[in-house]
A = this chain, B = another copy of it.
Amino acid sequence: MKSDVHLYAVILAGGSGTRFWPLSRHLYPKQLLRIIGDETLIQQTLRRVLRCVPAEQVIISTTPAQADSIRHQLGEWKDALQDSFVIEPEGRNTAPAIGLVAAELLLRDPMAVMLVLPADHVVQGDRRFQSAVSFGVQLAHQGQLVTFGIPPLRPETGYGYIQPEQKIRLGRKGGLTGYPVARFVEKPDAKTAMRYLKSGEYYWNSGIFVWQASAILEEINRHQPELGAALKPIGQALRSGSSERLARLYHKLAPVSIDHGVMERSDRAAVIPVEFLWSDVGNWSSLEEVAPRDKAGNVVSGKVVDLGSRDSILYADRRLVATIGLSGMVVVDTPDATLVCPKDRSQDVKAIVEVLKKQGAPEHLEHRTVFRPWGSYTVLEEGKGYKVKRVSVNPGGRLSLQLHHQRSEHWVVIAGMARVTCGRRVFDINVGQSTGIPKNTRHRLENPGSEQLHIIEVQNGPYLGEDDIVRFQDDYGRGVKR
């Protein structure tokens, strides 16, 4: 596709969903998961939009909690996308996120057209997607706020619907037709959904949009004047790097969705019924809409040994999952938690997460593996008075210069080379070498090499919480003691 020079792809990657628990966590949402295929959903989304726009015209809108994990997944695009992030201080739903990006884009390009899409949807059919975007851009240049409508496959009650005003055609291109939106409908009940399906007059709202930055800002100003007014000072705070001011201003915003707050109220909304396969993969059972199934109808991933199950979703990771004679079940195994439920109860995973949250169980919040700006760590085991971690440091990365009051640490290098600061000494250790860090000693771990550094860290002490840390210097601007 010959891309429109004014087209920018805006990936909404601020979600914190737990509907794919235990694979997703509060701090590790669906967009980061390899749910279908070899790439994560955000990687697939990136690949999709990079067929429509060059890397320097991609914007990733996210929150501080997600940014490290997303950067970790950029892979080949890491350098090209390093300046692509717009980091909201916190998630305030889609209208503020989109408004902020639109205002920033307008400063850069008064003719900017935005393709807005969630990071965690599945789309199959790249050509059709590109054709739809191309046509969407054409309508957007006419001032329309374009949404893509998906022909419904079943009487789904979990999606919003769009009814086009079919008497009026806004344009045609390559078999696609654009219409004004007659109305948006919130998630319908089962009976209504069935009526919509049978009528052939309704489409699922994909949550993918194309519009001019100027047009969406006009509509935000009209229908969400408070948000509109706040965008200017927020943009100033963002550009000046005043993170405290930005956070304060952002926190005041009402968390409104772009659909409910703007699109439903606008008279410029248009819809293009499209033909690519789309799913918001809202829970485990929706996986079977998009993932390949075996002869018995199972979606199987990872180290699964099965005898005679059918129509089930069997998701293992490195551990072994054995299943016998299941029917219509979901089994999901992760290093620290396993879920078993019938497919038709998948939506109740949320309730499990709520229970865990109330119990203060760590399994709702994060995985055993936690991403940091310098790399990641995985807790291998915790017990009374000790903790064992595998720590992975990116080439050129280094942890903060730090100190622990309550624990000593031992580091054994298992891959790569480590540069160690311990007190006043700085030295390198290689694979099979080790060093000990006494408590109350300033220390730092650094990867000066060009390959990934992996160490095993054994902590000893009466208290081993992550908050026993005094930082003296940090490359990533994290709280430093002065």
Tell whether, in the assembled complex, residue A326 and residue B341 are in contact, meaning their CB atoms are under 8 Å apart.
yes
Number of interface residues of A (CB under 8 A): 55
Tell whether, in the assembled complex, residue A324 and residue B341 are in contact, meaning their CB atoms are under 8 Å apart.
yes
| Chain B minimum-CB-distance residue to A456 | B458
- Chain A, residues 309-327, CB within 8 Å of chain B (1/0): the string is 0000000000111111110
- Chain A, residues 403-446, CB within 8 Å of chain B (1/0): the string is 00000101010110000000000000001111010000000000
Question: What's the dominant secondary structure at chain A's contact region?
Answer: strand
- With A324-B348, A386-B414 as known contacts, state yes or no: A319 contacts B338, CB within 8 Å: yes
- Choose from B323, B325, B414 the contact partner of A460 (Cβ within 8 Å): B414
| Chain B minimum-CB-distance residue to A435 | B434
Tell whether, in the assembled complex, residue A388 and residue B388 are in contact, meaning their CB atoms are under 8 Å apart.
yes
A321–B22 CA distance with the chains assembled, in angstroms: 10
Tell whether, in the assembled complex, residue A341 and residue B320 are in contact, meaning their CB atoms are under 8 Å apart.
no
- Choose from B348, B384, B390, B454 the contact partner of A307 (Cβ within 8 Å): B348
- Choose from B307, B319, B337 the contact partner of A321 (Cβ within 8 Å): B337
A323–B341 CA distance with the chains assembled, in angstroms: 6
Number of copies: 2
A133 at the interface (CB under 8 A from B): no
- Choose from B22, B345, B388 the contact partner of A325 (Cβ within 8 Å): B345
- 26 contacting pairs across A/B (C-beta < 8 A): A21-B322, A307-B355, A319-B337, A320-B336, A321-B338, A324-B341, A324-B342, A324-B345, A324-B352, A325-B342, A326-B340, A331-B340, A340-B340, A380-B380, A380-B388, A381-B390, A383-B454, A386-B414, A388-B390, A388-B456, A408-B432, A410-B410, A410-B434, A412-B458, A434-B434, A456-B458
